Amino acid sequence: METHPEEEICTLDLHYIVFRQCNPEWRLLPHRVSNFDITYVIQGKACYTINGVKYDVSAGDMVCLPENVKKEAVTYPRQLMHCFSVNFQPKNLDRQSVKLPLPMINHIGVRNDLIQLFDDLVYSWREHRSGYRLKCRGILSLILYHILEATVFETFPSDLDNRIKNTLLYITKNYAQKLRVKKLAALAGLNPAYFGVLFKRVTGLKVNQYIANVRIHNAKTMLKSGAYRVAEVAECCGYNDAFHFYKHFKSIAGIPPSHYIPRISP
Distance CA 151, CA 145 (A): 10
User: DSSP letter at 258?
Assistant: G
Q: Using alpha carbons only, what angle is made at residue 8 by residues 138 and 1, rounded to the nearest 5 degrees?
A: 100
DSSP, collapsed to helix, strand or coil, labels residue 167 as helix
Contact 254, 224 (CB under 8 A): no
Distance CA 249, CA 255 (A): 7
Helices (H), the chain: 112-127, 132-151, 162-174, 181-188, 192-203, 207-225, 230-236, 242-253
User: Quick one: pLDDT at residue 8?
Assistant: 64
Quick one: three-class SS letters along 46-106? Answer: EEEEECCEEEEEECCEEEEECCCCEEEEEEECCECCEEEEEEEEEECCCCCECCCCCCCEE
User: Quick one: pLDDT at residue 139?
Assistant: 93
pTM of the predicted protein model: 0.57
Distance CA 70, CA 34 (A): 10
Distance CA 130, CA 128 (A): 7
**Please, what are the averages of pLDDT over each run of 10 residues along the chain (266 residues)?**
51 91 92 92 93 88 89 94 94 79 80 87 89 92 83 53 83 87 93 90 83 85 81 90 89 84 63
Domains and CATH numbers, the chain: 5-151 (2.60.120.280), 162-260 (1.10.10.60)
User: Quick one: pLDDT at residue 23?
Assistant: 93
Distance CA 164, CA 167 (A): 5
